[in-house]
Structure 1
């Protein structure tokens, strides 16, 4: 049984302590992604400064400032998947609803109390994970998930993605998934990271206002083209 103290960072915690807490929280959060205790432990361990920097970037644009002020939500309770699925095929709303139906999963949900802009950006990043799968085209298999983590690292600098990539890569090398060899896996992850770096910041984009927009249009607007790397 893990108690709250195990996930508490002491003042001026060392890198080793931060990694230990983050690894513990990552292990516990699997299957319970909306748990605010685990989410905040990961955030405090690795990404507090990253999210603070992202808030500063959003404050530089009109859309970013409005998002920080209004704090829109893509949580399950704020979505009507039945209505979205009735939108024309090819639109973001239709594809988003089918994504959850086809994968037999539900949208992100958390009980985290949003006390400040950093809390909001942390939540926004986590709840845009599924829409990014649609826009980037990365699958929900192990390799696709690692590609998306590499993309997020390149686009936002999320340090948690580094830890997930390390764990996922070690697992892939130990027991390859989907018939993907080491060289192909590394090429795909590297390409995803480059693509994320080349793409515009996506956290200030109001997906909620674009349910009727074709996925292809949004992909062209928000994602750099996928490139093959040797």
Structure 2
């Protein structure tokens, strides 16, 4: 099947079509998580209504309206990672840049045309994935990624995160990752979900304005304690 057929997602697509496209995209991004085409299509496949609701909520506050109006970007082309890494240790900028270096990965890029607030929030969500790793402390191993998905499900209610968790949990039960047993795995996901529920919404936070702020300060502001 060609990419155009695989990624066809009409605005009026049925739930069955959206689930099919989500599944096809997920199979690709499991091995290519920064893929700009499949990643953004997966993100939009099940989340349009959630993003529409979030956009309405943001319009009710001055900071939210500023976010939707300015549409800041955390794409790789907007970031000077070398400059950020020169900031003092412990600051968001330094730890953010070191996160990419240590994990040998690059910031997300997107090919999505931003036509409206829903498109912007979809893009923004993908771009906040990496700074959220830094703030929450969840690892980039398989279980850590699932913890972050559970955190985002609790915080934003995105349907794709539930989809990823379902598929990831089925896979984990077949082949446990990193020696983490089923009960421990589920305990960690539940703890991450509850932590996300208890934390302030992160999607409209201006990470770009806080590169020089200590991570510890931002973690205390944006993340509930990581209780088991």
**TM-score, length-normalised on structure 1?**
0.93
Once residues 167 and 113 of structure 1 are traced to their aligned partners in structure 2, the CA distance between those partners, rounded to angstroms, is 29
Once residues 118 and 18 of structure 1 are traced to their aligned partners in structure 2, the CA distance between those partners, rounded to angstroms, is 17
- Residue 176 of structure 2 is matched in structure 1 by 176
* CA root-mean-square deviation: 1.5
Counterpart contact for 2:44–2:122, Cα < 8 Å: no
- Residue 82 of structure 1 is matched in structure 2 by 82
- Residue 148 of structure 1 is matched in structure 2 by 148
> Which 5+ residue runs of structure 1 have no aligned equivalent?
none
**TM-score, length-normalised on structure 2?**
0.94
TM-fit CA distance, 1:42: 2.3
Counterpart contact for 1:85–1:94, Cα < 8 Å: yes
CA 1:112–1:86: 2 relative to 1, 3 Å: same
Kindly tell me the number of residue pairs found equivalent between the two proteins: 227
- Residue 93 of structure 2 is matched in structure 1 by 93
CA 1:139–1:12: 2 relative to 1, 3 Å: same
Once residues 159 and 201 of structure 1 are traced to their aligned partners in structure 2, the CA distance between those partners, rounded to angstroms, is 16
- Residue 188 of structure 1 is matched in structure 2 by 188
> Which 5+ residue runs of structure 2 have no aligned equivalent?
none
Hey, which bits of structure 1, 4+ residues long, moved more than 6 A?
none
- Residue 138 of structure 1 is matched in structure 2 by 138
Counterpart contact for 1:92–1:215, Cα < 8 Å: yes
TM-fit CA distance, 1:19: 1.1
Counterpart contact for 1:63–1:205, Cα < 8 Å: no
CA 1:170–1:184: 2 relative to 1, 3 Å: same
TM-fit CA distance, 1:200: 0.7
TM-fit CA distance, 1:31: 1.4
Written as runs of structure 1 = structure 2, the 5 A alignment for 1:5-20 is 5-9=5-9, 13-20=13-20
